[in-house]
Structure 1
Amino acid sequence: MKKPLFTGSGVAIVTPFTKETVDLPTLGKLLDFQMKNGTDAIIVCGTTGEASTMSYRERMRTIEFCVDHVDGRLAVIAGTGSNSTENALALSRDAERAGADGLLLVTPYYNKASQSGLIRHFQVIADGVDVPLILYDVPSRTGVTIAPETYAELAKHPNINGVKEAGGNFSNIQKTRNLCPEDFTIWSGNDDETAAICMLGGKGVISVVAN
């Protein structure tokens, strides 16, 4: 039985910048604020964290800083997705080495992968690490939707913990819940859909508003 990486509200934390690079002292203050005020997990270098505009070195330094600063008090989940399977796997392995408790993997954007392609992409990454993965379905940004039947296949992998669902299709979410085992966790990826997704069996939210 897989245990959810977290339940409740995990913050998709913003990444503060100076004019040159990531502002780590300010990031530390934001992390302190989150821990003081009861967030359940830190999700670093996701979409809200501006990962798509950061260099590889900036992403890894930010993940390392969060892991060190949080120091085991909460789960730290690192965004390591890419539209290149090879790049996503390298990021994921480096984030695991840095001490991340889990990884957030967005669907390969722009490529418009087939469902079988999505399965292979995520399975390769899940096979290459020893920490849990949260899939991230956000078709408005990536151009591809993960089908419920695809979730059912991916849920068989011991390292795939669940999904951050931001597709806005509640019938698909209900079908996913029906097809997948109970230990495949669904988190809302949109703050305004959290209550509805929890009523369909979701375990919480990866939240922007939590910032």
Structure 2
Amino acid sequence: MFEGVLPAIITPFKSNSAMDLDIQGLERNIEYLLSCGIHGIVPCGSTGESATLTFKEHEKVVGVTIDTINGKVPVLAGTGSNNTAEAVTLTKAAKDSGADGVLVISPYYNKPNRAGLVKHYTKLADLDIPVVIYNVPGRTGQNLEPDLIAELAQLPGIVGIKEASGNVGQVSRIIELTQDEDFAVISGDDNLTLPIMALGGRGVISVAANVDPKRMVTMCEAAGKGDWKKALALHYALSPLFRSMFIDTNPIPVKKAVELMGMAGGPVRLPLDNLDGKKTADLKKILATIPAAKKLAGAGSAGKKEKPVVKITRR
């Protein structure tokens, strides 16, 4: 169900002190991504600033995403928390809204023991909606080991993992241990998408696909067909973009990038702060090499009314 390119979408805010959700901008962003052939979409993940969304905002973003997608591709809603009860509440809300599945980060800060992790994911797996585990030690401070993932993969409600440990050897071991299960291993790092797919991974939950969805889709589809030469060429063509998305804490760079392209972005919420001038200049240079970015920046918003913040030109 969850494979190919699934952009982890930003949550656009209006540029005012209230920092309200930009619902029309969110809809336009999603429509643009759909037009580029994406295979699924992930609202309210780390890239969507889920940690600073209220419950009401979280439910609104998930609901708007589902309505805008209208069944065209699967919606995998982020519903994780370091509080199991909150994760259950968010997961139930996503299920009631019509999400196809939920992406659940491992509990951050708490550093639960193995038994606690099993109980946490078992409670979520029992809610009758497909659950994709999210392992990102750089944000949670705790790595989910391959043998634990293999154990959790046996739960009927657990259907996959977004693997963002950055350890290709670990990803290989997870695939080895779960290959007999109906279990998808999905890259959580854009720059490791191709090697993970070569090992048997199913695709990527992508930050870069917010900026260059067409080439991300083409790369993953080429890999899925075994056209490794084409996929490798695209991997290297996209690598500068991959690096640029992490010149600062995610989603600071990607939010600035989509704004520069004339799409809905807006500010990031504190405690994150906006990209500084030097990094913005560096990002512009990368965007100037991306056909889709230049086209959108020159034409204005992916929707109708908004003008681009800046016209990107090659330097």
| TM-score, normalized by the shorter chain, greater than 0.5 | yes
- What's the counterpart of residue 4 of structure 2? 8
Do 1:115 and 1:147's aligned partners in 2 also have CA atoms closer than 8 Å? no
- The AA in structure 2 aligned to 1:8 is G
- The AA in structure 2 aligned to 1:14 is I
- The AA in structure 1 aligned to 2:95 is E
TM-score, normalised with respect to structure 1: 0.95
Which of 142, 167, 177 is matched with 2:140 structurally? 142
Shift of 1:115: 2.2
Do 2:160 and 2:184's aligned partners in 1 also have CA atoms closer than 8 Å? yes
Task: Compare the two structures and name the one with the higher strand fraction.
Answer: 1
Shift of 1:16: 0.2
- What's the counterpart of residue 106 of structure 1? 105
- What's the counterpart of residue 128 of structure 2? 130
In 2, Cα distance between equivalents of 1:85 and 1:10: 25
- What's the counterpart of residue 154 of structure 1? 152
Is 1:97 the counterpart of 2:96? The answer is yes
Shift of 1:69: 1.2
Shift of 1:144: 0.8
Q: Which has the larger radius of gyration?
A: 2
Shift of 1:182: 4.2
Shift of 1:6: 2.3
Is 1:84 the counterpart of 2:77? The answer is no
In 2, Cα distance between equivalents of 1:29 and 1:89: 30
Secondary structure of the corresponding residue to residue 75 of structure 1: coil
Write the deviation string for residues 138-188 of structure 1: whole angstroms up to 9, x where unpaired: 000001111111111111111111000000112211211121134211000
Shift of 1:9: 0.5
Shift of 1:112: 1.0
In 1, Cα distance between equivalents of 2:86 and 2:2: 26
Do 1:104 and 1:136's aligned partners in 2 also have CA atoms closer than 8 Å? yes
- What's the counterpart of residue 172 of structure 1? 170
In 1, Cα distance between equivalents of 2:157 and 2:8: 21
Secondary structure of the corresponding residue to residue 174 of structure 1: helix
In 1, Cα distance between equivalents of 2:194 and 2:102: 24
Structure 2: state its 5+ residue gaps: 211-315
Shift of 1:116: 2.2
The root-mean-square deviation of aligned C-alpha atoms, in Å, is: 0.9
- The AA in structure 2 aligned to 1:205 is V
Secondary structure of the corresponding residue to residue 42 of structure 2: strand
Is 1:59 the counterpart of 2:58? The answer is yes
In 2, Cα distance between equivalents of 1:203 and 1:126: 21
Do 1:115 and 1:146's aligned partners in 2 also have CA atoms closer than 8 Å? no
Do 2:3 and 2:184's aligned partners in 1 also have CA atoms closer than 8 Å? no
Listed as ranges, the matches of 1:191-210 within 5 Å are 191-210=190-209
Write the deviation string for residues 79-119 of structure 1: whole angstroms up to 9, x where unpaired: 00000001000100011001111100000001111222211
Secondary structure of the corresponding residue to residue 41 of structure 1: coil
- What's the counterpart of residue 183 of structure 1? 182
Do 1:104 and 1:135's aligned partners in 2 also have CA atoms closer than 8 Å? yes
- What's the counterpart of residue 24 of structure 1? 23
In 2, Cα distance between equivalents of 1:10 and 1:130: 22
Task: Compare the two structures and name the one with the higher helix fraction.
Answer: 2
Give the ranges of 4+ consecutive aligned residues of structure 1 lying more than 6 Å apart after TM superposition: none
Secondary structure of the corresponding residue to residue 43 of structure 1: coil
- What's the counterpart of residue 262 of structure 2? none
